Structure 1
Amino acid sequence: MAQVGHESHGLTKLEEGFRYTKGISQIPVKSAMREGAQALESARLEALRGRPEALADLMYGGRMGNDEPGDGYKYRGRGYMQLTGKDNYRSAGEALGLDLVHHPDLAAKPENAARIATWYWQHNVSQNAREDVTKATRAVNGGTNGLADRESRNERWLQTLTPELMEQLAAGRIGRAVEPPAPATPARTAPNAAADGVLKAGEKGPAIETLQKSLHALGYTDGKDRALNPDGHFGASTKEAVQAFQRAHGLKDDGVAGPKTLDALKKAEQTPLLSNPAHPDHAMFKQAVGGLEKLGPQAGFKNHAELERAAATLTFEAKVGGLERIDHVALSTNGTGLFAVQGNLNDPGHHRAHVNKQQAGEQPLEQSTFQLQQDTQQRQKLEAQANPNQTQPPPTRAMG
């Protein structure tokens, strides 16, 4: 169940998405680099634009039985175990009486996905690997991608599928009234995750849930740009979000929420975001949002939240660049950049600031807010040093 849960994102993903938003380092398939980093990056960007065929071919083409053009995408990961490759589709289909080679979409139907997952586990995971998360991961994944999340899920299932429950399952007693068990020694209360002032992977409880909700409210996601699920379990996704917050605040990105990280998080929650009307630069942020909205579909944002993240990044760069307002937002000629413009677009003397569109859309809103706050404080400090007399009160005369 831990392996299935990871591969299918908690039984919610039945088809591989090919959305690697952070860069080619996210792509877990070594063979994808066979044509070089530039070709892979180009294919990754095409996939984000809704054309994943080239990326699928780099990842899976020419192996696992994929011997025809287009097979990499045709036999992409599907089902709860993310069945991948023509050879695996053929083997599973023959074992289960399904024509998966000619109709690969059948593997994504929930009723078939469950049967395929069971077959795959029995067929590919040896008996001695089924009790070892690392060995089972290698059998399922071919490597150890996502091992921390798989271990976290396994731990939760071990706590759920107790020996007593397994005995009832084996005896077919689930769903029927059973005799209450004999009194047992009360279970030990789980330790308070926040007792030592440090929150880390593997811990669970209300403090972890609060941490997850705070990170989510500030716009931080996991390594695949997915929103955090505030389930109270500190797994791989929570660690990735903590690391993103730490990097944004210049902290050691170890994924452990210690005193410094928790203090920075508390301060961040108390500071209004650029999207909040209470923020002093909210007006410029709204100008950036309006400019991006005028670009329409050509801007290429997946949703309005991504657009707002880009607007916040533009606002920060505009302020740092000395702009006092944003009159226009324009796309670069190749579509990969955004310009915030003060003045007439046709005026050679206009002021502008530039950002990378993809990076701007990925940067959490709170990160841009924090960076702007840091820059403002630094400028105020420099101004105070340059004009020390302006910060001192006028001398008073003694009354005679």
Structure 2
Amino acid sequence: MLYKADILAICPVAKAAIVDAMVDEGYKGAWERFGVTTPVAQAKFMGQIVHESANLTRLEEKLRYSAKRLCEVWPKRFKSEAMAQPFAFNPQALANKVYGGRLGNDKPGDGYRYRGRGLKQTTGKYNYGQAGKELGLDLVAQPDLLLHANIGFLSGLAYWKEFIGAKAETASVKEITKIVNGGYNGLADRENATERAEDVLSYGTYEREILTETALELLDPGRIVIRELKKGSKGIDVRLLQAQLVELGNTISIDGDFGVNTTNALKEFQVQNELEANGIYDSKTRNALQLSLQEQRLAADPTTTHQAPDLQPEQPPSLPDFPLEAALSLTANIVIGAHGDIMGVNEVQPEKLTKIKRYATVLWGQIKDLGESRETAVALTNLETAIMWATKSVARQAEKHGA
């Protein structure tokens, strides 16, 4: 699950509608549904779609090029600027020229009708059909559905599941770029990678590598060193802090530079939470911020439900007493209250297992933030045990019902 802060830290200029759609579908289990769940896979996925969608700002392919640029992008198609001139700044004519008669496009106008759309820039009638099958939509008949941010995001995940899948864990960014775009420069419509301009090829590959590295640092908690942040601090952890403050309602820039605006925003948060308003991101402020994010995210989760009172245990499970006790108790209560006793007293519904694991992932990160100690080791062991029983409960039910 990627939350608003995660996405904005990776891509600060992302359009709000696209970010909201990604978070909304994430709450519904989209990442789990399509098997993009590890930090490595999510980072590589983000590196690709951020590039494809012009930093999460566009759901439709840009097809307005000068004649000179057309010769650079499609050297086989346009051998001179004179040949390219009729298609310069003419999206419809250009799409029909470069996509017509291929990618499943078999009728006049199909090139433009099935131009790149969605966060992955799905292109061609065949690929529209494949994405539609995975999503249960007739995208061939209704191609503009991919311009809806939610569907545009899901189409990217559907593509990833079919063509990348487990390869995401070991394949290089360059190898994945080749699969996604047919080359290394981020332009899906290139026919022959060896004929692409060297500067464009280098730019496209480099950009994906940087985006992927940034995403991986943010999505893999172990890669960010937990440190005290204050005015003058710089780095990926500052960027994430800024994005989290934005998720909580602030309007500061996400630039990785702890300046005056970040200091003031943090002071405001500290005052609201009855902390010393020193503008320093210390352990107490970090714990309070994580708790606030957790409460807001769980309140926003549209899939959160509550079991009848008789299915709720009298007391939440015992957890160690340490600085994040409030956040730990909150998560434990929601897991137990919403899904029944996951230790096996009550059955866990299969469709709820994904959410339990999602809460556990958040909780795991919070515990790890506390560092190595006997208490955190006990907490992690308890969490692993709870998830094991939840998984076994689902397996038992499947066996009982012959699933």
TM-score, scaled to structure 2: 0.40
Larger radius of gyration: 1
TM-score, scaled to structure 1: 0.40
Structure with bigger RCO (C-alpha 8 Å, 6+ apart):
2
